[in-house]
Amino acid sequence: MKKLLTISALGLVSAVCLAQNPIISTSYTPDPAPYVHGDKLYMFVGHDEDDATYFKMNDWQLFSTEDMVNWTYLGTPISTETFKWAYHGDRAWASQAIERNGKWYWYVCLNDADKNDVLAVAVADDPQGPYVDAIGAPLAKGFSFIDPTVMIDNDGRAYLFWGNKGLWYGELNDDMISFKDGYKEVPGFHDPACFGPQSIKMNWAKGKEELMVGFEEGPWVSRRGDLYYLTYPAGGVPEHMAYSTAPSIDGPWTYRGRIMNEAENSFTIHGGEVTYKGHNYMFYHNGKLPNGQGFHRSAAVEEFKYNPDGTIPFIPFTEEGPAPVGTIDPYKRVEAETMADSWGVKTDRLAGKKHYVRLIHNGDWIKVREVEFGTEGPETLTVETLNFKTPGTIEFYVNAMSDSPFASVKVDGTESVQTVEIKTRRPVTGKHDVYILFRGGDEQMFDFDWWKLN
């Protein structure tokens, strides 16, 4: 998604400096699935194509954060091509991943070669892959078998839930790629007391009005204490976020109400809640990026606190998103694809562990928040670029691009790794936001790999 630059980069920053939602600006990232592992929060997402006029999704992407404001692109580890038996087209829909015994299991929904809705699972030894098809066939197949969510309970038993206008679940074997006793419909699915009020709404896919159940799609299952939670898009289209609770994974489920309104500029909303570094976060998607809409959706996140009785409060949408819970150490290598915001640039679409920022043009920029310069400040700056095309300059600023840069690197293709002296009117110390501005001619310039202060 190359954004249309309608105002200058300098003027744009003043308008967006406080905005954090959506949290990814380099691609459209629907259906965010957060997962905490160690000191990182991973986010597994879908990928709406830039030219989509319907649900056009060919692969899945991965991001991570350690501070909730800067997100690192970790690649595009799997696609419909990962599953040789599947339809290799635009049906890479919602997913969720989990780790067990050193293996990573990524559950996805897509179509088989006959265009049937199916669930599949890919497995890897690392969250970034390489992933392989775990069973060489669908895990489950049926009409509206989409949007899988997975959890491992306190007793080690694992469960998979899924569905659209229907809701099914089954216990997984320890291998995480087969069901212990098959699967069945979630008890009470058709009961408004379990999953919310029913209503008559237009079903745009069928072109007629019909009865809509409370639950729509995209379940997210979790547990907190002795209570199980199912969070889900509800109410037909456009969707809002609601949830139900149960004393057991088998129910009975009790409808608890609306917790988010309809997503901004999107008729769907999909995500889930997670606890990270002592904070509770609700992920969802909206259509608020430039050119965003119902088929160009982007991940967003809000912090919330559970009520004393364990219920989830109503969570309003914000532009600023959650507060930071960590900082960036610039004296260690900072990947160029680690950012809080950006304008114009894209990331690669590669699997593996080496990634970079691409499609760089004059006036494009990257923002990195909460950069800790320390008490003495840096003396030099090192950057690495690759895939040189035309000359340009990389300028580094603190807090805003309206002042002079504290460092500037000329890129002419002669050296991929370059070190320059820091030049500032005063030492750069303490904690700041860093803006990285690219200047050059009218053509695409080069790709950007990483930077580091010395």
> Which single residue is written with the structure tokens 């593996």?
352
Could you tell me where the beta strands, DSSP code E, fall in 287-348? 298-304, 334-335, 338-339, 341-343, 346-347
List, in order, residues 6 or more apart from 353 with CB less than 8 Å away. Answer: 74, 75, 128
Picking from 312, 429, 445, 452, the residue whose alpha carbon sits closest to that of residue 381 is 452
Superfamily covering domain 26-304: Glycosyl hydrolase domain; family 43 (2.115.10.20)
The enclosing H or E element of 170 equals strand 168-172
β-strands 40-45, 59-65: how paired? Answer: antiparallel
Burial 223-244 (b: 16+ CB within 10 A, else e): eeeeebbbbbbbbbbbbbbbbb
- State which residues of the chain have pLDDT below 70: 1-18, 199-206, 210-213
CA distance 444 to 129: 30
CA 269 – CA 84 distance, rounded (Å) = 30
Please identify which residue in the block is written with the tokens 């949007």.
Answer: 147
Q: Which residue has the tokens 């807090």?
A: 399
Q: Which of 266, 264, 199 is nearest to 234 (CA)?
A: 199
Query: So what's the pLDDT on residue 10?
Result: 46
- This prediction has a pTM of 0.94
Q: Is residue 384 classed as helix, strand or coil in its secondary structure?
A: strand
Block residue for tokens 């609306």: 258
Intervals of CATH 2.115.10.20 along the chain: 26-304
Domain spanning 334-453, CATH architecture: Sandwich (2.60)
Is there a contact between 348 and 360 (Cβ–Cβ < 8 Å)?
no
Residue 367 is predicted with a pLDDT of 98
**Residue 279 and residue 268: Cα distance in Å, rounded?**
26
d(CA 287, CA 294): 6
pLDDT digits (tens, 9 = 90+) for 356-396: 999 999 999 999 999 999 999 999 999 999 999 999 999 99
pLDDT at 211: 64
Please tell me what DSSP assigns to residue 263. Answer: P
